[in-house]
Every structure is written in C-alpha cells, then in structure tokens.
Structure 1
C-alpha cells in the first residue's frame, strides 16, 4: 500500500462517492472512515493506521463534504476536519452553505484542541503569500483565484487557520537542510532572473563587461569569413579570415583594457582604494549583496531559517563547507610554502554567527568577573597594566 511505503499514518480523501457514513477495515489493518450523502456523489473520508484508529474519541459526520474526529495524543487533543469544497462553477449558495457548515464544525471544537484541516478547497492559492505567512503554505503555484480569495476573507483570515497546500510530490522541507536549500535556491534563482544576466537563444549567460558592440561586430565578421573560407578553402579567403581573426583579438584586447581601467577608476573614486569591488561568495553561492537586498519579506524568511538552525541545534551541511584559496606571497611559484591559504566562509553563516554572538554577549557579560577588562565593551587594560608596572617597580626597590 502507498501509505505503508511512504510511512504515512493518515491521509485525507475527497470524492469518495460512498453513500451513508461508517468505517471499513482495509488490508494491512488500515481503517477507512467515510461520510457520504444519499447519492453516490461527493463524499469525504480518511484512511489511518490501526494505532491512530484506536485513539479516536468519537466521529462527527456533518454531511457528504465535511467530517471531523478528535485524537487523544498524550495530554493533547487534536481535532482533524476533513473538508471538500464545491468545485469551480458550482452555485454561490452551495459554497456559502459549505463555509457555514465548516465554521459551525470549527466553533464546536473546544479552545484547548489543536485543529488540522485536511481536504481540498478546490482553489489555487498561488505563490504570493506576503503578509499571509501564517495562513498560506509555501508550496503554492500559479495565481490565486476567486475561490481562495473568498476562503481567506470568510474563514481563514478571521480564525487564522492554516492551509496545507498540495505539494504535488514535492519533497518535505521540514528539516534544517531542506529549509536552507529551499531558501538558497529561491534566492539565487530570483537573482539570476533579474540581475546581470541576458538571454541568448533561450540560454542564460553572464554578461562580460568588455563584450561591447564593436567586439560583437568583429566576431560576427570573423565567423562570416570563416564560413566562406571553409567551403572551398581558397587561399584568398584564408587570408581574409586570418585578418578578421587578428582584428577580433585586437578589439578584444582594447575592450578588456578599457574595462579594467573603468573598474580601477571606480575603485579609486568610490572606495578610495580601501575596499574591493568584487566580494566572492562562499560554497553556498550567495554573495553579500543578495543578503543586503533581500527586502522585508526575504529578510523575515532568512530570520525564520536561522531560528530553525538555533532550535535544531545544528547548522546545515552546506554551510559547513569552505572554499580554500591560495594567495601567492613571494618566491618561487612552484613551491607550496610560498602560498598563504585563506578560507571563504558563506556570508549567511557569518550573519548567523553575528546573531548568536549578540545573544550570547548578553548572557556572558553578566557572568564575567568584575576584574575582567580585556575584550569587553567600554573597558580597557591600561589601568591594570599601569598598576602592575607600579607594583613591579616598588618590589624592585
């Protein structure tokens, strides 16, 4: 069975088309709980394991579109509500009746219970959830439609219930590694779409600074003469091709030189020669400029990911990798001892370290001895060194 292979304890069903209400025992001791009407249409149900079936306190069969049942899990009670909303195109009155029944079932649940809504709302939640992070999940696709707009306005926003959007066989991102990879790929993918890239015949290529219009025309002319020469190999066309190739090399050399001079002038004028223009990224591939320009929504998302690191007690495997770069110092270049190694850490890890450092400082400062003056804010060791020097001189006398 698919549930056994995927290690699922419960799964919601819609459009069961079973009449009446009741339970059935399936193979492998899985239980089916269904709720239908007088006709074989619509219908909802759930399939759950033997262990969960024994923990159900009672069943509520509302109608062919809604059913609910509470679980007693330790000291907590979790109420599952299985719902199946009317399809797009159904009468408005039928949809209003569905949401009224759903609200009625929700209101009957004690405040001490946790509520989980399963099923299908027959709508597109879309991929934009800014300001709705506690209501809409992170796996929506496309654009939101009117059905979900009504759901948010009439039910979800009022009572802050969560939608578990259909994952379409997407991987679960509940653990630390997947949460980080999801954030990283989304950030890099968005930057690739809009920053320093151009599309050439359906492919994305990085734009070189010296790829000027003059160089493009020279390369085009070189390829034109090459195709003419390659057909019958006359000596005259070969000479024309060689001259065109030399012209490309000349134009490319001049364009590179001008580009490097522009970069040097920019460094001199803007940074006064104290900073570099290019900040290489770590193994994660996220440069510091992306982290600085995430915006409010992206910054809040990054904060949620960092909180997951702290709560999980460890960092993602991706952030534990550094890039080792060798910096030549002096001497023979073939001698390895003439190189100094530096490691490029991911900037996201540096930001997370600063966040943890600011939190730890508040705890550590309270526990340090009053005589500890080094490496503390608003304190210095000058007075201690002076006192030690005086004591040493008096002892010698």
Structure 2
C-alpha cells in the first residue's frame, strides 16, 4: 500500500487538489509543458493533512498530524544540468528556506528528482551518504550532499546495499543514472527500513503507461500497476489497530461513517467491470465526504466543550487563547 508519494514533472497547471482513485492529489504548476510537482496521499491519511504550501512549480510541502507525530513531506524538482545557474541557486535557496522553517521536533521527509549524481561511494560525505550509491558524483550531487549535511539529513537511497536495477532511477538506451532521492533526518534514520527502486520494466509488464483510452482510464490502469508493484516489492501496511478509537472526539456517529467509508473503499478496489467501478467510485466519494463532515463536526463540538470547561475553571488565559487560535487555524487548513 502506497500511503504518500511525491511526484515531479507533472506538467499540471495551477495550485489545485483532485480526488484520484482513492487518493487526494495536491499539485502546483505554472506551465503545461514543463516542471510541476505534486503529492499524493491515500484516503486513510487525507484527514490528517493540516497544511498545504505550494512554493512554486518546483517545490511544495504538506504537513500531517498522525497520532503524536507531525510529519512534513516535501516534493522537489531540481533544475536540470545546463539550465541557468541563477535558476539552480534559487531552487536551493527556496528549499533551504522551507526546511529551515520546519521545527526540529517535527518529522521531515524530502522526496525529489534532484537531477544530480551522488556517486557510488561516500568519499568525504560519510555522515550523509551511506556508501551504497550509483555512478559517479557530479556538481548536482555535491549540492544535494552539502544541503543534506547542512540540515542533518541522510540520503536514504544510499543506506542499503542493492542491485543496480534497484538503484537506477532513470535508464535510457545510452545511460543509466540515479537522480531521484529520499532524504530524512539522521535521528529518524531508523524509521526507514528499506529504500529501493521499482524497475520501470516491472511496471511496464503490468501495463503501466499504455496510451489507449481516455486520461481517466490511463490513470486508473497506471495507478493500479504502481500499487501492484509496490505491494509485491514493499509489502502491505495494515496501519494502527483501532485507528482513532479512544480519541476524545470519537463517537458512535463518527465510527459509523468512517466504517461506511472503509467499506466503500474496499468495494472500489475490488471492481469487476467499468460500470461497477464508476458506481463504486461515486459511492466512495459520497461516503468519504460524509465521514469528513462528521469528523470535522465532532472535533468542533469537542474543542468547544473543552474550551468552555477551561474557561469555567478560570483557564481563560493567554495559553488557552493561543491553543484555541491554533486549533481553529489548523481546522480551517484541514478543511480546505
């Protein structure tokens, strides 16, 4: 199960969000023929997204609150070799500002096409390069490693010994390169149990990127192939047992709507034909919308009761006012 995916070179225009086959896609782009980035989040996590920030057509970030952790996901697309040096400097400046603004107490994951080669060996970057890369290092790779060092990050791709086919992220008839990387904080390195490339040939054998049919059918076919490949290579995560049960805003109505959403999603991924798929997709969208509204309403009531109780106890001080303002802001961001 792919829970979150960072995508680049989307070439979709505008700062928008779309529901895509059981996922929500946030994207940012200025032109239909170049650049563009996006982040896909599966339906089980979209309710946890509290902030979306679109920096430009090469960078965007989302923030999620999952249990007691705050996660920041950055999707980045570095300028290609040969572009103006000013464009490259602006990219690294923007990425620097984004990461600098994320508290050290929050989790950070950067997934991007960095158009640089970090090389097979660490050679002077033992603190950020795990020693299991590919190819020869170039200027773009040095920039990435310097950035990782400056912010105490590690390149997850280089942390595991892999066959060449599980390191190479782009292959053509004349070259094979590793230009896509996942970075996370050194303190969180233990959270990354594996990092490998799913070979393009694997996806092609499943029918991914076939051009027949309309855009919707192409996406449905491609996303199904990616999920199948991910399930085979990465395994399946079943999530936390009990979900939100025990949270103080959880009630019977919320439980019923969430369960209905899960059942609708189960039917969606088990389609038998196109007509059934269209019907199940509409049913899922409706169930998800209803669940989101009920969760939002339950949280609103729960917070209002909490603040009323605090005020009755003489707790109407600056701390509680700040907490109330922050909660309202996050709720507005979440609902948007």
Report TM bin, short chain.
0.3 to 0.5
State the TM-score, normalizing by the size of structure 2.
0.46
Larger radius of gyration: 1
State the TM-score, normalizing by the size of structure 1.
0.39
Of structures 1 and 2, the one with the larger relative CO (CA 8 A, separation 6+) is: 2
